[in-house]
Amino acid sequence: MTVKDVMKRAIDTLKGACIETPTVDAGVMLCHVLNCDRTYIYTHVEYELNEDEFKKFNACISRRAEGIPVQYITGHQEFMSLDFKVVPEVLIPRHDTEILVESVIRHTKALQHSCEETCPGNMPWLNILDIGTGSGCIAVSLAFYIRQSRIKAVDISEKALEIALNNAVNAGVGDRIEFVKGDILSEHFSAAASSPRFDIIVSNPPYIPQSDILGLQKEVRDFEPTSALNGGADGLDFYRAIVKNAAFLLKPQGLLAFEVGLNQADDVIMLMGRQYYDIGVTRDLAHISRVVTGRMRVQ
């Protein structure tokens, strides 16, 4: 069958399965099977798929019709213009999280500008801690775009750390990221992560209230790891733990940067309390408060 024919049949199948973006999803999966870009399938509508390509594409469409996210089918997701490997053991990187990464990058540019004025030619290395690294999308992106950085990336999942390391190596930054197994909810976390103290702590922690998980979109609820979603009874368990540990891990005037869920920004700011100053909130494209940042006061 031709590209035109298989696309039409695939789109009809996905529409019948109530998939919200059938045309986009079918196109992404066909590009994956044919190892091409979108331009190719639009300009080669009469290309005849061979038997192997046809079978692979049909298998992808069947899995998507079951609700499996496209990213777990193709094994890839773009984030900050970088390619990340993703598997069902890690949360799929979201574009909302790019706002968190961009906020940290802006902070470092301001630091570097200030340093260039006071000590030209002697740019300091920044020590960054990424808590709950998952696929490594935050840690890898920061290492890629902030060349004078060393990053410690922590996660409770061995599989997540394996995937994150793979992504770091593929992006060419594996030599500047240390991946460590650790649980932020453990009382021993600070000791495990404390050396050296950090200029920046960044986290996109689990923040969905436990009672809300059953109401999530099927693709998220049934296929993404619950441990990366469940933030406890009110969704704030991990923020409490991170703020508590940051007191021992963050340098004075160091930056604490969070992604937050819907209507959580004010609660997170209250948790940060008087220990932090220069607190800021950044909204996403839907005008939802998505990122909270603050700097540690000098004790």
Q: Which CATH class is domain 96-296?
A: alpha beta
- Judge whether 3-66 and 96-296 match in fold: no
User: Which pLDDT does position 214 carry in this prediction?
Assistant: 93
User: Which pLDDT does position 191 carry in this prediction?
Assistant: 65
User: Which pLDDT does position 124 carry in this prediction?
Assistant: 79
User: Which pLDDT does position 185 carry in this prediction?
Assistant: 86
User: Domain locations in the chain?
Assistant: 3-66, 96-296
User: Which pLDDT does position 170 carry in this prediction?
Assistant: 97
With 0.85 as the threshold, say if the pTM is over it.
yes
> Could you tell me the CATH superfamily of domain 3-66?
Ubiquitin-associated (UBA) domain (1.10.8.10)
For residue 139, which of 156, 126, 153 has the smallest C-alpha distance?
153
* pLDDT digits (tens), the chain, 299 positions: 999 999 999 999 999 999 999 999 999 999 999 999 999 999 999 999 999 999 999 999 999 999 999 999 999 999 999 999 999 999 999 999 999 999 999 999 877 766 665 666 667 789 999 999 999 999 999 999 999 999 999 999 999 999 999 999 999 999 999 999 998 888 777 766 666 689 999 999 999 999 999 999 999 999 999 999 999 999 999 999 999 999 889 999 999 999 999 999 999 999 998 899 999 999 999 999 999 999 999 86
